[in-house]
């Protein structure tokens, strides 16, 4: 099973059989409130009829078209529609099949961009501690989770910024923690160490998701942008989680008002109904790749399934729903009630931190001494038994409900979380 400690995995797996709106049903017939949008991806709620019909129609009309110098109209239409939501100036789209592929594609874009400019010394990539960028070789190289790359030896040339979680000062912070100068200035230190002329790009998740919802301090992303611009370094946002409304804006770059040079997406792109990712690049990156010196190798990259017809059909239908139901701004409207709900759990036994932004939140539990992850696992098991799907990283519970949630779902989340946290005490 993917993402499972298979050798130690003795319990019967929890198997989901059916889904609709805010709910799953498992093979035992249990109804489960989905407080995680699957894996941060089913932003418009499950099994939307419109998406299902679009996929079905598309599979009858055109199941597949080869990529090499050939294609079909849907990726162009979808890209056009997507750029109505992406920040101005980030209007060029390349389709992949997953978040991991989007990340590896974005890193290749960054290296190819400098190469096309004749700047071949810029080969170093900077990620961040606790960053998660998928499981491709590029993604685990820039990713800041050492366990994910331990078994693979030397990977790409990388270094890492420190993460921004400051629990000495900012426990139980609502929204953005106040600016702290150190985490962003650490980029200047890395530049001093390596030399700006060697660094191709910095990649960060605007809000780190998989490591347990780490919210950047106010002004942090702006400062990274300034430093990158001053040194000719590209800034890449990994928006695989934050894209498609999670923060109440189409993308995190609009929430923070910071423009990256490249950003990655996947998950909510098709409401997760068909696997797909997309990388957006700035006009400058696009122009450079299209017009770099002839003697440079042209950027050559793609997948058999880039812009797959069924994925495009699902994505276009998802976008119709996002637009018609104004789900991105709806997320912003629901976020204050979500924040209230989550912070009302402060004070329960073992709750050592609560953090939130938009419709993302984390409840961090104190680890059982000598048994990290065990309390988190107990919370997951108890929540599932009580009909609530949460996600757990170590001892941190992460919540990211679909953007269509209603007050009654918030109430159910609160009630179940309160009761399982009390029972764990």
Positions touching ligand PMP (CB under 6 A) are 98-100, 103, 132-134, 205, 209-210, 238, 240-241, 266
Nearest residue (CB) to ligand PMP, 131 versus 292: 131
Give me the least distance between CB of 133 and ligand PMP, in Å please: 5
Q: Where does 22-113 show beta strands of DSSP type E?
A: 23-26, 31-34, 92-96
Extract the tokens encoding 306: 């880039």
Q: How far is the CB of 273 from ligand PMP (least distance, A)?
A: 14
Characterize 400-424 residue by residue with b for buried, 16 or more Cβ atoms within 10 angstroms of its Cβ, and e for exposed: bbbbbbeeebbebbeebbeebbeeb
Q: Which is nearer to ligand PMP, 266 or 334 (CB)?
A: 266
Structure tokens at 167: 């629990």
Instruction: Give the residue with the Cβ less far from ligand PMP, 212 or 292.
Output: 212
Nearest residue to the partner ligand PMP, using Cβ: 99
Show Cβ contacts of residue 340 under 8 Å, excluding neighbours closer than 6 positions. none
Shortest Å, Cβ 331 to ligand PMP: 17
Closest to ligand PMP by CB, 133 or 225: 133
Closer CB to ligand PMP, 101 or 364, in the complex: 101
Give CA separation, 219 vs 39, 43, 187, 249, in Å.
28, 27, 14, 18
Least Cβ distance, residue 406 to ligand PMP (angstroms): 26
Those residues whose C-beta lies under 8 Å from the C-beta of residue 297, and which sit 6 or more positions away, are 112, 115
Nearest distance from C-beta of residue 23 to ligand PMP, angstroms = 22
Question: Looking at beta carbons only, is 216 or 292 nearer to ligand PMP?
Answer: 216
Q: Can you say whether the dihedral through the CA atoms of 108, 110, 115, 121 is positive or negative?
A: negative
SS3 389: strand
The CB-of-239 to ligand PMP minimum distance in angstroms stands at 8
Contact 317, 50 (CB under 8 A): yes
């Amino acid at each position: 099973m993917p993402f499972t400690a298979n050798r130690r995995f003795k319990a019967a797996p929890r198997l989901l059989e059916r889904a609709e709106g805010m709910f799953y049903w498992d093979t035992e017939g249990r109804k489960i409130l989905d407080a995680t949008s699957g894996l941060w991806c089913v932003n418009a709620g499950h099994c939307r009829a419109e998406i299902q019909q679009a996929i079905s129609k598309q599979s009858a009309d055109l199941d597949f078209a080869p990529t090499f110098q050939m294609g079909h109209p849907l990726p162009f239409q979808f890209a056009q529609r997507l750029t109505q939501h992406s920040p101005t100036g980030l209007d060029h789209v390349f389709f992949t099949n997953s978040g991991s592929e989007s990340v590896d594609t974005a890193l290749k874009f960054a290296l190819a961009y400098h190469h096309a400019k004749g700047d071949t010394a810029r080969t170093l990539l900077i990620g961040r501690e606790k960053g998660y960028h998928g499981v491709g070789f590029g993604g685990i190289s820039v990713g800041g989770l050492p366990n994910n790359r331990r078994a693979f030896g030397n990977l790409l040339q990388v270094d890492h910024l420190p993460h921004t979680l400051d629990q000495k000062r900012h426990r139980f912070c609502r929204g953005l923690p106040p600016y702290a100068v150190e985490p962003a200035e650490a980029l200047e230190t890395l530049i001093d160490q390596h030399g700006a002329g060697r660094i191709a790009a910095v990649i960060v998740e605007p809000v780190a998701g998989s490591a347990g919802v780490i919210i950047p301090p106010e002004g942090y992303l702006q400062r990274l942008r300034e430093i990158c611009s001053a040194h000719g370094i590209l800034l890449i946002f990994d928006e695989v989680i934050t894209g498609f409304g999670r923060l109440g804006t189409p993308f995190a770059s609009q929430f923070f008002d910071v423009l990256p040079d490249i950003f990655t997406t996947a998950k909510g792109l098709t409401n997760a109904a068909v696997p797909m990712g997309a990388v957006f690049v700035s006009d400058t990156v696009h122009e450079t790749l299209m017009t770099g010196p002839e003697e440079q190798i042209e950027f050559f990259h793609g997948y058999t399934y880039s812009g797959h017809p069924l994925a495009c059909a699902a994505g276009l239908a998802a976008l119709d729903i996002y637009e018609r139901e104004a789900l991105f701004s709806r997320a912003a409207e629901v976020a204050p009630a979500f924040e209230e709900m989550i912070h009302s759990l402060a004070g329960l036994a073992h709750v050592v931190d609560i953090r939130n932004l938009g419709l993302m939140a984390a409840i961090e539990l104190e680890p059982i001494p000598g048994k990290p992850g065990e309390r988190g696992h107990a919370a997951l098991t108890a929540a599932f038994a009580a009909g609530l799907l949460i996600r757990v990283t170590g001892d941190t519970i992460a919540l990211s409900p679909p953007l269509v949630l209603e007050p009654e779902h918030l109430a159910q989340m609160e009630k179940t979380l309160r009761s399982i946290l009390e029972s764990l005490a």
